[in-house]
Amino acid sequence: MKRGGWVAVLIIFLSLVIVFLLSLTKDKKTKEMAVKKTNKPVRPAAVAGSFYPGNKEILSDQIREYLDQAEVLKTPGELKILFVPHAGLIYSGPVAAAGFKQIQGKNYTKIILLGPSHHYHFNHAAVYPSGSWQTPLGEVEIDNISTSKIINDSQNILTDEQKHNPDHTLEMELIFLQKVLNNFQIVPILVSNPSDQLIDSLARKIANSFNNQTLLVISTDLSHYPPYEQAKKADQQIINSILSGNIKTFEEKFKEVENSNYPNLETPACGYQAIRIALKVSELLGVDHYQQIAYQNSGDLPRSDKNRVVGYAAIGGWGKPIKKVANGPLDQTAQTEALQVARQTLEEYLKTENTPSLTPKSLKLKDKFGAFVTLKKNEELRGCIGRFEPDKPLFQVIQQMAIAAAAKDHRFPPVTLKELPEIKIEISVMTPKKKISDWQKINLGVDGVVIEKGGRSGTFLPQVAVETGWSLTEFLSQLCAQKAGLSPNCYQDPKTNIYTFQAQVFEEK
């Protein structure tokens, strides 16, 4: 080859090398930008292309067609719990769409997704804590504030992304939610073999996280693999037991159907444990109207095998709007000023050991109210002290209790000035105590409780029940033993004085 030819070949080779290196650089920058853009974990779709179409337009059209064929029921109250199936879209899609049609265009902003794990066997509740979930229809963010309040290691409610990654259970509901709601976040939870105690704790955590824009979606199919006619009979028994709204009725009927010798029956409902939790939540929320929305099984599909079917139902639970506790004496402006008083007091005291002289603008801060000041660091308690019967204006009570919580709560070392920026302040303005004669009438999560016996006493604020997820007996047992230093069952002793109170609770953002 002539010299000119070699030069040409060399130039071409070098050009290719440069193009290759530039492509690597561009690819690296693209990946870096993607990381910077998300900056949080994204769970990719696990069953797109298998359980449902992976193409956005095809999937969207198919779900829209199912929704167009569904009708909205006329029911009393607001939909709080929705049971829907999770099989492949062509199988259970029409039934699921009938369920989700009930919330189309509604203002639900938090969806708690709960269902059974199909890939793992475990004893805890697996919560996907943060980031977002992706489907061909886009990404949906996790409500990480709610998940952080639900997760509780001591109650076996754990952060566990792994259990979610391969499962279709909740993903099959997400694609419908993306078509019927505009602005919402999700709280994804999977269960497998939870204890009764975990079911109770998780149900309370879920109920305590509810507001009037929250919906609990239970993902479950019904009977697995009996013949067509037997499936309809078995499924209707399970549906009727759910419609009762009673967890014991459901549990008893489930066992009865399970032991009824239906041919090829593997389970009456794969979401058995999730349904139990939902019915427990139902009791706590006062859901008082259940209705079947739709039913069919896989044998209803054209050219299907009627000798081996799976049942699908959509069921709704409606209840009255959640009533919030009375707002209390302080409006938003007074609450903001009260928090400023507490923080300014702590800053001055931790610098000089002096209490600053303040004159509040809000008149309510000059009235006499009892108050507790709670300090938290990384969502963990760092100090809490309060007073019920004040002889001073509220703003002075807040100052005194803020200092006491920071420096005189003997359960903790004193708060330092250095860590003050990490401290979140919460204030509870108290109503007067009222003595009660029946502990079973305590309204958990609304009433604070004081126990007194033999010169010993202990107090739990109303929000303790919300934050711990304790049952009433657990709440009172812990109050007796942990706070009053008495026997765990002291609340059952007629010689024990029990008082209740309410609180207006607010905290720094």
Q: What is the pLDDT of residue 23?
A: 43
Q: Which CATH superfamily is domain 325-429 in?
A: Hypothetical protein ph0010; domain 1 (3.30.700.20)
Beta bridge partners of 370: 430
For the ranges 15-29, 68-82, 144-158, 228-242, the lowest mean pLDDT is seen at: 15-29
* Domain range list for the chain: 42-319, 325-429, 431-509
pLDDT tens digits for range 397-426: 999 999 999 999 999 999 999 999 999 999
Same fold across 42-319 and 325-429: no
pLDDT tens, position by position, 163-184: 999 999 999 999 999 999 999 9
Task: Give the least confident one: 65-74, 223-232, 294-303, 358-367.
Answer: 358-367
Least confident of 8-17, 69-78, 444-453, 489-498: 8-17
Q: Which two tokens stand for residue 444?
A: 């958990």
Q: Are strands 311-319 and 78-84 parallel, antiparallel or unpaired?
A: antiparallel
Closest CA to 325 of 214, 211, 434: 211
Q: Is residue 105 packed enough to be buried (19+ CB in 10 Å), middle (13-18) or exposed (0-12)? A: exposed
Query: How many Cα atoms are found within 13 Å in the side-chain-facing hemisphere of 397?
Result: 24
- pLDDT reported for residue 445: 77
pLDDT tens per residue across span 49-96: 999 999 999 999 999 999 999 999 999 889 999 999 999 999 999 999
CA angle 424, 425, 428 (to 5 degrees): 145
The distance in angstroms from the start CA to the end CA of the chain is: 77
Relative orientation angle of helices 56-69 and 171-180, to the nearest 10 degrees: 70
- Give residue 31's pLDDT: 39
Note the pLDDT of residue 214. 95
pLDDT score for 72 = 95
The DSSP-derived string for 324-341 is: PPP--S--HHHHHHHHHH
β-sheet with 380-387: strand ranges across: 380-387, 370-377, 423-430, 503-507
Number of Cβ within a 10 Å radius of residue 380: 8
Q: Which of 34-38, 195-199, 429-433 has the highest mean pLDDT?
A: 195-199
Residue 30, pLDDT > 80, answer: no
pLDDT of residue 323: 53
At 39, the pLDDT band (50, 70, 90 cuts) reads: low
Top CATH class, 431-509: alpha beta
Query: In degrees to the nearest 10, what's the CA dihedral of 24, 30, 33, 35?
Result: -90
- Give pLDDT, residue 212: 85
- 42-319 classified as CATH 3.40.830.10: yes
pLDDT band at 487 (very low <50, low <70, confident <90, very high): very high
Average the pLDDT over 144-149 and give the result: 91
Identify the pLDDT of residue 251: 97
Highest mean pLDDT among 27-31, 317-321, 349-353, 363-367: 349-353
- Residue 90: the pLDDT is 97
> Which value, to the nearest 10 degrees, does the dihedral of the CA atoms of residues 231, 232, 233, 234 take?
50
Task: Select the more confidently predicted residue: 49 or 368.
Answer: 49
Residue 25 has pLDDT above 80, yes or no: no
Cα separations in angstroms, 347 against 191, 290, 462: 45, 54, 28
